[in-house]
């Protein structure tokens, strides 16, 4: 069916735009700089950071990864972040989660300079998002979803949107973006979570459903209005004896059942994931542009 929202293609378009901006900066003698900080050897973190670093290098962004031992103290990590904050050649800083249990992620994310917080997690940037102040950084995954919707010409103004999940990384900032008084927002947003009653009833009214609960195949066919737009943010590992590793990744949407009745739907993988990286690259270049003009 030709109702897939191709995140890889749209991300490719964004990367082309970002590469042009990098070229303009280099003509002014500025090379965008991005630092990834990883603590420990979590396998998923290694893969994610590797993908981000590879893409940044392809776009001409000067990126590097700083790896600290699992036993690194919080004080040592904060010291490294302070050094990066003070380095004018570094425009973006990303501290890869999860961090070891003895390190407080809230304190760490808040220690990154808001002007270099290309992940959009600093309280200052969260506040600017809520207040619709454009000089902050929007968090990459919800900003990627917003771009997917806009670039796919999905009408947002007046649309009934249900967001499944109230997390700080996707659900809450996603709701804030779509509620803004803006031509590319102005939606009516319902935020459902683990304590919500009648989730299916909310979903069946929705023109757009954004699933970010972290529950495999949560969104079923009988919860979707025919013609609704479905965005699957979920990344869940489930057992699969037939696969080489004994498991596989699936989204929050029962894709095979939902796709035939959806107006548009993101595949998973190949939908939201590429957009997250595209937004990170765009935020990094934006940080360098702002540093140039300040």
User: Which residues are identified as catalytic?
Assistant: 52, 96, 119
Q: Which residues pair with 211 in a beta bridge?
A: 164, 232
Report how far apart, in Å, the C-alpha atoms of 236 and of each of 46, 77, 84, 86, 232 are. Answer: 18, 29, 33, 38, 11
């Amino acid at each position: 069916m030709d109702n897939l929202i191709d995140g890889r293609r749209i991300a490719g378009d964004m990367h082309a735009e970002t590469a042009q901006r990098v070229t303009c900066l280099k003509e002014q003698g500025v090379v965008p700089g991005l630092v990834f900080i990883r603590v420990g050897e979590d396998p998923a973190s290694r893969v994610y950071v590797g993908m981000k670093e590879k893409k940044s290098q392809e776009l001409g962004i000067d990126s590097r990864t700083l790896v600290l031992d699992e036993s690194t103290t919080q004080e040592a990590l904060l010291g490294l972040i302070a050094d990066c904050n003070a380095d004018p050649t570094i425009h973006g800083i990303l501290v890869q989660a999860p961090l070891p249990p003895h390190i407080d992620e809230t304190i760490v994310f808040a220690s990154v300079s808001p002007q270099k917080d290309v992940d959009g997690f600093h309280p200052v940037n969260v506040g600017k998002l809520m207040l619709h102040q454009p000089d902050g950084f929007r968090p990459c995954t919800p900003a990627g979803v917003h771009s997917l919707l806009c670039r796919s010409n999905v009408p947002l103004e007046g649309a009934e949107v249900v967001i499944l999940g109230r997390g700080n990384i996707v659900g809450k900032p996603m709701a804030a973006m779509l509620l803004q008084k803006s031509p590319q927002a102005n939606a009516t947003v319902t935020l459902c979570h683990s304590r919500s009653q009648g989730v299916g009833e909310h979903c069946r009214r929705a023109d757009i459903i954004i699933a970010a609960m972290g529950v495999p195949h949560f969104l079923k066919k009988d919860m979707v209005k025919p013609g609704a737009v479905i965005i699957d943010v979920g990344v869940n590992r489930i057992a699969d004896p037939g696969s080489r590793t004994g498991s596989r990744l699936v989204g929050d949407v029962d894709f095979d059942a939902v796709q035939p009745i959806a107006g548009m739907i993101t595949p998973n993988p190949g939908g939201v994931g590429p957009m997250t990286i595209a937004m990170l690259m765009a935020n990094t270049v934006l940080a360098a542009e702002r540093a140039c003009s300040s």
